Structure 1
């Protein structure tokens, strides 16, 4: 009896989901850019291969033009193809396209906070604040340009150590760029062999890799179900939480020696601006 009830419940849930997805796709289709007709629950996954997304989009572009809509599961996605389409959207109509789409796989970490993931007035406030801080750095005692020059000198020394031998520069270039960001945000650079720095780079790389996996994409498309299930799709959450813990520890270090008259980095400036 219990198994029968579970089977009926599952059937009802699936039926409701298909009905909801049908309503969503029909309502969304009325206002969205043209595109292939989605089917309930799956959307356009038959036309867009997750292992060959770019190629699938290019094929759809031939039929629907440089602006079209596809449904990744239950969610509509507007696709812009080509320089002119992107320029028109992000520059000519910047206000209309200034919003941020939600990624369920990382929304649980940030919940709409942060410059990259915020929306509306919250995003505009954070954007203005960040731009003001970076402008202050440009005019301050030690500009970003000077930090870049210092790191470039260090990078050249690392290249000289190879004595002309063939190398893969990916690691060194990643360290260099990351150190410039660290200098601005944390107020200090790291040695390229520093274990804490290497772990930070690993966390960042793994997070981006994990967000690109089919598991994360499946979570983004069907978060209503996936959030209640265990599995690989939860890994990105724990990676980003570890990143947040690292940043929180750096903020505590700043707070312990904070001097509002002598800001050293982005964190210090942020604290000053938020308390003015």
Structure 2
């Protein structure tokens, strides 16, 4: 008898057990009356029906066959997918509380363990969000003080670009530094010079995290975390970058502790430390070290990556379409002129510029599958029963690129946000910041930054490509949690 037979028999037995366990798990009654699902394979579920380079496109394609509410299996875990503007509106806004939970994918759990604003649930999330909104407003969010910080930082960016002496450069790094300094001033109470060694390391770590989140390796980790822990890939890099970022933030927190004056809070960290002291006798207080660390990291990463990546996309698109770039400049000349700094009050008088910025956000579809949601209770939704704790994907891309909502959804077209008189018009299906209970905490800050930074740049420079502008590829380079553009070098010609 072949000596390998016992080993083969054992492997077949283990495989059989796994198949039976998967089958039984997929048929358990606790999964409720789930929406329809495409056929799934044992162990891997619907993995092979997903394009790992653009998973949101696979979801939209499946919705055409299985309807706007359907189920996928990630291994033995059911995932309910909401597609289409009307479905998203009902799920995120009209039934916002029902789907306001945050499902922790394995990579998110590994990073945060459920602490912080972005990845917490229940009472922890409610307290941290309420505190953070209040604190951000106290430090100028939505007020003139934050506008002045953005205006000053915009001038630093202009100086840094002038120093390039009209030579080709990739604007990504400078844009990340500029945008990051705004959130740094709110969270850490200081801005950094672009050449500061600590700041350079910080930018390198955030870039590493952002790039890794857009790669297939992280998606594979979320499907098979126990296996992927032993395999090389981008998931290991993201964990190392996150560890380094935590070390930096902890050092900043310790420095704040040593210099804290309770009557004069300087920033978000000071305010959190004061709140921690006020609640130190409450055994169930959510104002603890772990939530401070992760909340600061959440604010820093979200406040840096989303806006800087959008600006990077915007410059690339405007180089691709020089006529649109020139039309914005003409509006700047008419409303602002060549010397006065752009102000947020100018936006209402610049409908074309506002339309272009909104169209950039719609077209790039920065977070196409949104951050993972979760059912907070057993939810009756459109005739289905979605059990409490179910992972829910809200496909924002299906609203931002819906043929029923936009004239030319797959083309860059500022007229999507202009009426017949050339006035700016808003659209309900514009969900670039998500919607409902979990809408982006810093949406108002991002809107202000995008307008002030972009108008300041175009007031001072014409951006040109070193190759024919028609050859600029404005399709995504990678599509994961974030959608990243291709890398190009541009020349900034002083006006």
TM-score, with length taken from structure 2:
0.51
Higher helix share: 1
* Partner Cα separation in structure 2 for residue 136 and residue 3 of structure 1: 70
8 Å CA contact 1:22, 1:41 repeated in 2: no
Out of 57, 60, 68, which is 1:58 matched to? 60
SS in 1 for 2:254: helix
**SS in structure 1 of the partner of residue 63 of structure 2:** helix
Q: CA deviation at 1:63?
A: 0.9
Superposition deviation, residue 8 in structure 1: 5.8
Q: 1:93 aligns with which of 95, 100, 113?
A: 95
Which among 20, 40, 43 is matched to residue 41 of structure 1? 43
Q: Give matches, 1:59-208, under 5 Å.
A: 59-138=61-140, 143-162=145-164, 167-208=169-210
Q: Which residue number corresponds to residue 21 of structure 2?
A: 20
The answer to whether the 8 A contact 1:106-1:237 is kept is: no
Greater mean deviation of Cα atoms: 88-97 or 142-151: 142-151
Distance 2:18 2:147 in 1: 53
Q: 1:175 touches 1:192 (CA, 8 Å); kept in 2?
A: yes
Unpaired segments ≥5 residues, structure 2: 279-495
1:193-227 deviations in Å (ceiling 9; x for gaps) = 22221221121121122233333222211224444
Distance 1:141 1:86 in 2: 31
Structure 2 distance, partners of 1:244, 1:56, is 35
Distance change (3 Å), C-alpha of 1:141 and 1:211: closer
Task: Look up the SS of the partner of 1:31 in the other structure.
Answer: coil
What's the secondary structure of 1:38's corresponding residue?
Answer: coil
Q: Indicate the larger mover: 177-186 or 67-76.
A: 67-76
Indicate the larger mover: 49-58 or 131-140: 131-140
Contact persistence 2:208–2:237 (CA under 8 A): no
Report if aligned partners of 1:105, 1:236 keep a CA contact under 8 Å in 2: no
Distance 2:52 2:269 in 1: 39
What displacement does 1:5 show?
7.0
Structure 2 distance, partners of 1:172, 1:6, is: 58
- Superposed, which structure 2 residues align to 1:229-244 within 5 Å? 229-232=230-233, 233-244=235-246
Structure 1 residue runs of 5 or longer lacking an equivalent are none
* d(CA) in 2 for partners of 1:176, 1:139: 17
Once residues 49 and 145 of structure 2 are traced to their aligned partners in structure 1, the CA distance between those partners, rounded to angstroms, is: 49
Higher relative contact order (CA 8 A, sep 6+): 2
Q: In structure 2, how many angstroms separate the alpha carbons of the residues matched to 1:107 and 1:124?
A: 19
Report SS of the residue matched to 1:70.
strand
For the Cα contact (< 8 Å) 2:108–2:119, is it kept in 1? no
Shift of 1:6: 6.5
Change (3 A) 1:142 1:78: same
Once the two structures are overlaid, the 10-residue window that deviates more, 89-98 or 49-58, is 49-58
TM-score (norm 1): 0.87
CA distance in 2, matches of 1:14, 1:101: 29
RMSD between superposed Cα atoms in Å: 2.8
Q: d(CA) in 2 for partners of 1:113 and 1:7? A: 45
Q: 2-side partners of 1:212 and 1:11: how far apart? A: 36
- Deviation, structure 1 residue 139: 8.3
Aligned to 1:249: 251
Q: What is the number of equivalent residue pairs in this alignment? A: 274
